[in-house]
């Protein structure tokens, strides 16, 4: 397993967003990121009744790539769900290789707000960090300002910070170091 993180655009995702995701992950983890070519919209995961895409099925498909990368992070333009929830902003394999986020409900326009690049970037950063930390084995935090707090509404995402509380920061560093040691060639 190599020490690189793959960023996988799924559907139509602006290049600047993919670059933001790669830049932020590299900053947190000090691990190089490689941007993959865009994967087409995952029609195999589309649920006609919900008009959404099953995030679990997409994660499985990403995982079947059997990549030698440290982690794979998908960035989707489509609206995601898991069967027990109405929607998700993202999903990750706990202590697994893959995570995915959806831009669909992070866009201010989804809430009938004007486009706001800074707000969108903040939401993306928090969501990616949250899901990436799940791949390392981290669970939700009770601190509403910590990025590991569970976002069930966009207001939760907007309220929390784009960094960890002191306890989660320590755990993130420990989990990351442990995972990188396991990934060493």
- 33 token code pair: 């990121």
Report which secondary-structure segment, H or E, holds 75: strand 71-76
Q: Which of 14, 95, 113, 131 is catalytic?
A: 131
Rounded to an integer, what distance in angstroms lies between the CA atom of residue 32 and that of residue 171? 21
How wide is the angle at C-alpha 56 spanned by C-alphas 69 and 22, nearest 5°?
40
Could you confirm whether 131 is annotated as catalytic? Answer: yes
Residue 89: which H helix or E strand, with range? none
**8 C-beta neighbours (distance < 10 Å), count:** 25
* Rounded CA separation 72/51 (Å): 25
Any idea which residues carry the catalytic annotation?
131
């Amino acid at each position: 397993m190599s020490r690189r993180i793959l960023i996988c655009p799924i559907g139509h995702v602006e290049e600047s967003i993919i670059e933001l995701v790669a830049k932020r992950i590299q900053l947190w983890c000090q691990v190089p990121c490689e941007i993959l070519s865009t994967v087409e919209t995952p029609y195999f995961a589309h649920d006609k009744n919900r008009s959404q895409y099953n995030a679990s099925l997409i994660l499985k498909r990403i995982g079947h790539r059997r990549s030698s990368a440290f982690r794979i992070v998908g960035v989707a333009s489509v609206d995601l769900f898991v069967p027990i929830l109405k929607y998700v902003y993202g999903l990750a394999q706990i202590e697994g290789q893959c995570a995915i986020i959806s831009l669909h409900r992070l866009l201010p326009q989804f809430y009938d707000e004007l486009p706001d690049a800074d707000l969108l970037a903040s939401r993306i950063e928090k969501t990616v960090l949250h899901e990436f930390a799940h791949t390392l084995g981290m669970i939700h935090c009770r601190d509403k300002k910590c990025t590991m707090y569970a976002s069930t509404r966009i207001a939760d995402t907007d309220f929390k910070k784009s960094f960890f509380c002191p306890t989660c920061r320590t755990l993130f560093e420990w989990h990351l170091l442990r995972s990188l040691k396991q990934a060493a060639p």
